[in-house]
Structure 1
Amino acid sequence: MQAKPVGGYCRISDADLADIRRAVKAGVLTPEEAAHEERKGVLRQREDIETLAGGAPIKWYEDNNLSAFKRNVKRPDFEQMVKDLKAGRICGILAYDIDRVYRQPRDLERVIDIYETSKEPLTFKTLSGQNFDLTTSDGRFSARLFVNIANKSSEDTRRRLIRSNVAKAKKGQSHARGLVFGWLDDDPSKLNPETASIRKKAVEKYIAGDRVATIMKWLAGENVINIATGKHFTWGGTKAMVLAPRNWGIRTYNEEIIYDDANEIVMGDWEPIFPTLDTWYLLQKLKGRDAKNPGEANVSYLLTAIARCGRCGATLKGHPKWKKGERTPGYNYNCNKQRPEQCGGLSIDGPQLDALIQDLVWHQVLRASKQKQVPEGAEPWSGEVELAEVEGEITELQALWKAKKVRAASYVVALDDLNARKNELLADRAYHSVPAGTRSITQELLSHGWGNLSIERQRIIVRNVLRAALIHPANSRGGRFDPDRVEPVFHTA
């Protein structure tokens, strides 16, 4: 009968990986050479474990480039090794050192439970020269002691790293690691003119009304590659790129904006895509727009829910036309009898209605553009007084803190609340500075018309001009499109 194999576990340590990554950053090693060095480290561990096995068969488990300390990191081969040990498919574990296998006491205890309850003799050996034999009480004691020490060492390193990173963040030092789309590959503090312009346009599209999914499709259509992954941008990657504070030069840590001692946003030491924070505050007003308007997420037709039935007043919905079981390019806007108040007895040709409304709205857009996009007598922003009050409260709170008249916990909570309200007001002011009736008028719209705009941006423009388009019943069935059936309902003010 063939002897059971023993599990051979290999993992490059965090310290080794850190040395290799520093060498890559310093230009001593290329990424390809670094990968080769990592592989050589694993192969050296295999050679040592084969010596430790003394000719016994080995089943290999390898979690290269994975931390044994971080709780949120799953090590697939370690988990499989534990399962195999518990099921009796291997007769023990061999490793270069115990810290290659465990850095968390809870992982060690899972394996100790198996050793203590196993009905078969199991082995546990390392090349460290210390007694970590989990089949004995002394070995288990040594293993527990060493893993706890290793865990504390990792915790200490983590704390030092956090302190260092926070200190760098407060100085505005760049947090970029690796390649960042929009900045130079060899110097992430300098903008790459070509990719930075794409990133800027993506943000502008979002502000103008495009959803993240639409921007993602635009990037794919332009064959834009995310240099961090070597692939097209995903939905999550597109959203992260558009909303990243880095675009405005804002320094963050753990996704939180860093403020200096004067309660001003800390700016990073890299070139921003947007030189001022105006669009940043505007973006804060627009974030979550898709979630607030879930009904807009999958709209495929320009006037769905804008056109209304002239009989019952219900909103019309676009539906494709079918002929002989096949979908045609045409579509209708129909009143669908889905609820008791809907009559379900009205329909109108979609493309012709869209063209009529687009022509009507276009004239309004041109008229607004000739008025320099800023109507005379625009209402002043109503939040100036509150903004001044909030800024005054922040100043008073800081003075109390410097005078040691307020506790740290109370100061932090109050300052966070005041900063949050201040940012809300600044976002509202930025949004108000663009008049509602002409908010969607952009140079792109004026230069190229409707053709290059996404359906959601077209709908924003239509909604800014029209409250609704009332569709009256036709005088006869199957007749030609009658523009007189369409009654536009404009916003009163």
Structure 2
Amino acid sequence: MHVVGGYTRISDTGQIGDGRDGREGVIRQRDDVHHLAQAKRVDIHRIYEDNDTSAYKRHVNREDFEAMILDLRNGVISGILAYNIDRIARQPRDLERLIDIYEQSRRPMIFGTTMGDYDLTTGDGRFQARIYVTIANKFSADAARRVARQKLAEAAEGKPHTGQRAFGWKDLQRVDEREAELLRKARQDVVNGKTIASIHQEWRELGVRSPQTRAGKSIGYSSVKYVLRNPRLCGYRSYIPQEVRERSGRVDPVEYLIERTDGTPIVGKWETIFTPTEWRELVDVLDARKNTGKGRKAGSTVTKRLLTGIARCAKCGNGMQSAMYTRGTVTYEKHGYFYLCAKAHGGCGKLARSGPPVEDLVEKALLDNLKKQTCSVQPAEEQDPELARTTRLLAQIEADKSEARQLRADDLLSLAEFAREISRLEIKEQEVRETVSALSTASARAGSAAVRIVREWGNYTVDMKRQEITRSIEAVVISGAGKGGAQRGAFRPDLIEIVWKQP
């Protein structure tokens, strides 16, 4: 008596939206397979089941299908029974794998379904099977296009995506405050100079997991980068087609924003974590890091030492590099490393200076400068002429609206003219308010940044400190001690000149 394998499968029912998990379908298929085995008088070795699994999507791994192929090839089973051939294959290449086994077999083989049998050892049987799978593949492709069009339409309406929740939300709409707080802190840290790698390490130590993280694992580096770039954070709707996901894996969601015909983003119907301005600032910082300089890893602002490239040789003007003193020497024990004008990097090779004393001097000068800024903070309008101008414009628009209402009350404007004028002014007012909000936020940030930097400087990483240094300092110029040199071991601050950036 033949020993065969029974195969059952239901596709990804989450796209149907009827609440079923597919379990009832595979149970019915099991019953059909057992009845078919009784009718054919064969024994079933086992039922191979792939529940909630697509046979059409190219990158889906059907574990039990692969196990069945292996058992068929090794002679554990001598055939397959299923409800229909499209349960087994919806891609021609999967059918061809079966055909190869049946053609090369030297034993009687069965390929039966409740809709009819296919003799894959004959040309006619293979032709019929190929036609049926080709038709099933066409039906799946058509269905995929319809689903994609429907999802795109829903995205254009601002509806939340379906499926798993996004990191930062309890469900499709409500914010998860614990995860939202992690995202807010990470955004501020990135803007202040921290790398994604540092944030990833912090999240791993905290045991942070995303909805897509596998059991027993912590969140991955690419997941951290993805969730921080997700337009959903500020309410913008994106849509990544399924075929793009399958072909490219995880892609940048910023590139798939859904926009109106006027170029403005579609705003979704869910609670937000960032403002659009905050999200854009974060994305701009991350994008700027893609343009890396010498000695940097892709996507990172980290260099080995605090002043690498910022410190410059007074003799030749070349950016200075860092190197370690020889282990076991007094200078190694005292300072560890030094800055040098290296010939290998285009320098003159005639200058070197111990690193920590120079860095301490620069840090102290920067913090002293920031403390002075906190004592002379002007009102936002006085700091930013553009903010003052837009604030005046906003007041003028309000006056124009009041005038239009008075003209209407005096019957000097028709209802149609009044409606058009008020509509025009309200649109202009909204645009100006957004500009005022963005400029006010920038001014407030500039005013409070100095206080925050001074307060938190001791907790800053090297890359965060470098970012703050480069915002205020053009270069740190180091001069040689001159003929006769300096007293051995003495630090000469007079040989260090800090070049501040022009305001």
In the other structure, the counterpart of 1:259 is 259
For residue 197 of structure 2, what is the aligned residue in structure 1?
213
Gap change, CA 1:20 and 1:433, over 3 Å in 2: closer
For 2:356, the aligned partner's letter is P
Paired residue for 2:116, among 120, 130, 149?
Answer: 130
Deviation at 1:457, TM superposition (A): 1.8
How far, CA to CA, are the matches of 2:271 and 2:200 in structure 1? 24
Structure 1 residues 340 and 15, CA, compared in 2 at 3 Å: closer, same or farther?
closer
Matched, 1:158 2:136: no
Report the RMSD for the aligned CA atoms in angstroms: 4.3
| 8 Å contact from structure 2 (residues 322, 337) kept in 1 | yes
Q: What is the rounded CA distance, in whole Å, between the counterparts of 2:439 and 2:41 in structure 1?
A: 69
- Displacement of 1:65: 4.7
**Residue number in structure 2 paired with 1:189:** 173
Q: Give the Cα separation in 1 of the matches to 2:271 and 2:174.
A: 6
Decide whether aligned partners of structure 1 residues 7 and 321 sit closer, same or farther in structure 2, where only a CA change above 3 A counts. Answer: farther
**Equivalent residues in 2 for 1:79-90 (5 A)?**
none
Letter in 1 for 2:494: D
More displaced 10-residue stretch of structure 1: 255-264 or 461-470? 255-264
Is residue 476 of structure 1 aligned with residue 486 of structure 2?
A: yes
**Equivalent position of 1:303 in the other structure:** 307
In structure 2, relative to structure 1, the CA distance for the partners of 1:341 and 1:156 (3 Å cut) is: closer
- Name the SS for the 1:100 alignment partner: helix
Query: CA deviation digits over 1:208-243, x for unaligned, max 9?
Result: 322211221232344433344254321101111111
| Residues 351 and 480 in structure 2, CA contact (< 8 A), matched pair in contact too | yes
- State the identity %: 28
Q: Indicate which of 354, 359, 362 corresponds to 2:359.
A: 354
1:10 to partner: Cα distance = 3.8
Q: Tell me, what secondary structure is at the counterpart of 1:286?
A: helix
Distance 1:21 1:130 in 2: 30
Name the larger-Rg structure: 2
Paired position in structure 2 for 1:270: 270
Aligned to 1:458: 465
Q: In the alignment, which residue of structure 2 is the partner of 1:399? A: none
CA distance in 2 between partners of 1:153 and 1:468 (Å): 65
Equivalent in 311, 318, 322 of residue 318 of structure 1: 322
Q: For the residues of structure 2 that align with 1:6 and 1:294, how far apart are their CA atoms?
A: 65
Say whether 1:54 aligns with 2:42: yes
Q: TM-score, structure 1 length as denominator?
A: 0.72
Task: Count matched residues.
Answer: 428
Q: CA deviation at 1:249?
A: 0.6
Following superposition, the deviation at residue 324 of structure 1 comes to 4.0
Give the distance between the partners of 2:376 and 2:466, measured in 1 at CA: 22
Unaligned ranges ≥5, structure 2: 241-252, 391-433
Aligned to 2:182: 198
Q: Which residue of 2 aligns with 1:250?
A: 236
Aligned counterpart for 1:487 among listed residues 477, 485, 497: 497
TM-score by length of 2: 0.71
Q: Which amino acid aligns with 2:210?
A: N
Q: 2:244 matched to which residue of 1?
A: none
Could you say if the C-alpha distance between residues 222 and 111 of structure 1 is closer, same or farther in structure 2, counting changes exceeding 3 Å?
Answer: closer
Q: Alignment partner for residue 160 of structure 2, among 174, 190, 214? A: 174
Distance (Å, rounded) in 2 between the aligned partners of 1:352 and 1:46: 80
Deviation at 1:294, TM superposition (A): 4.3
What corresponds to 1:467 in structure 2?
A: 474
CA distance in 2, matches of 1:349, 1:42: 76
Contact 1:249 1:270 (C-alpha < 8 Å) held by counterparts: yes
1:16 to partner: Cα distance: 5.9
Q: Give the 3 Å change call, closer, same or farther, for CA 304–43 of structure 1 in structure 2.
A: farther
User: Whole-Å Cα distance in 1 between the matches of residues 339 and 32 of structure 2?
Assistant: 70
**Cα distance change, pair 53–104 in 1 and its aligned pair in 2 (3 A):** farther
Residue 441 (str. 1) matches residue 444 (str. 2)? no
Where structure 1 has 5 or more consecutive residues not aligned to the other structure, the ranges are: 25-33, 385-425
Distance 1:137 1:150 in 2: 20
Distance 1:362 1:7 in 2: 78
1:28 counterpart residue number: none
| SS state at 1:166 partner | helix
The AA in structure 1 aligned to 2:477 is L
Partners of 1:132 and 1:439 in 2: CA distance: 78
Counterpart check, 1:232 vs 2:218: yes
| Change in CA separation of 1:197 and 1:267 when aligned onto 2, cut-off 3 Å | same
**CA positional deviation for 1:46:** 8.6
358-367 or 128-137, larger mean C-alpha shift: 128-137
**CA apart distance, 1:135:** 1.5
- Judged with a 3 Å threshold, the aligned counterparts in structure 2 of structure 1 residues 306 and 262 are, in CA distance, closer, same or farther, namely closer
Using a 3 Å threshold, how does the CA distance of structure 1 residues 39 and 163 change in structure 2: closer, same or farther?
closer
Per the TM alignment, residue 70 of structure 1 is displaced from its structure 2 partner at its CA by: 1.0
> Are 2:105 and 1:100 aligned?
no
1:286 maps onto 2:324 in alignment: no
The one-letter amino acid paired with 1:317 is Q
Change (3 A) 1:68 1:166: same
Measure the CA separation in 2 of the matches of 1:109 and 1:242. Answer: 43
